[in-house]
Amino acid sequence: MGVTVNQDLFERVKRAISETGRIDMQYWAGIAEYTANSVDEIRRLPLSDDCGTTACIGGWACYLAGEEAIAGVIRKYGIHSYDAQEPATIAAALLLDGGWSADELEEACQALFHLKHWPARERQAYDDSQTAAERVQVVLRRMDNWAAEMAALSAADHPATRRLP
């Protein structure tokens, strides 16, 4: 069975990035010199306030999802307690839905969450961005491209042909 992008959360993440302009693909989330590296730490940050916080795509997904949604994906994918605070695992399980394991979902999201896994052209565009507005546009394009990649991958989902990005 293929996977689908959770369009509701995906669009909420895009809207939050677009409206706040606060995106940083170097770490999950943070403010000033503090970086948040766990789901609970990310959720405690005031990302929706105008206070200088930033987050990557996965950080925004963890922040915007409700406690119930997070608990639901932990149960659904049998995520062990030591991975329940891992933003990559939880954000991937929140953004993708389908018959893959949590590890496969996380691997599929690397090309969305981690700048080093972005296609070279998009990574260079992010690095070359001079303003927050330019970075936001690059990130929103990456998100749209990734969603299209997931749709194509899902359409071709067969054990013999499936290749994760």
Burial of 50 (0-12, 13-18, 19+ CB in 10 A): exposed
Please give the single-letter amino acid code of residue 74. I
Reported pTM: 0.91
| Structure token digits, residue 30 | 């943070």
What is residue 50's predicted lDDT score, i.e. its pLDDT? Answer: 74
The pLDDT tens digits of the residues spanning 115-161 come to 999 999 999 999 999 999 999 999 999 999 999 999 988 776 534 34
Of 123, 146, 140, 118, the residue nearest 13 (C-alpha): 140
CA atoms within 13 A of residue 81's CA, in its CB half-sphere: 0
Is 89 a member of any domain?
A: yes
Backbone angles phi, psi at 34, to 5 degrees: -100, 125
Is 165 a member of any domain?
A: no
Is 21 a member of any domain?
A: yes
Residue 116 sits in which domain range?
A: 3-155
The pLDDT tens digits of the residues spanning 9-54 come to 999 999 999 999 999 999 999 998 899 999 999 999 999 887 889 9
Strand partners, 55: 23, 29
Domain count, the chain: 1
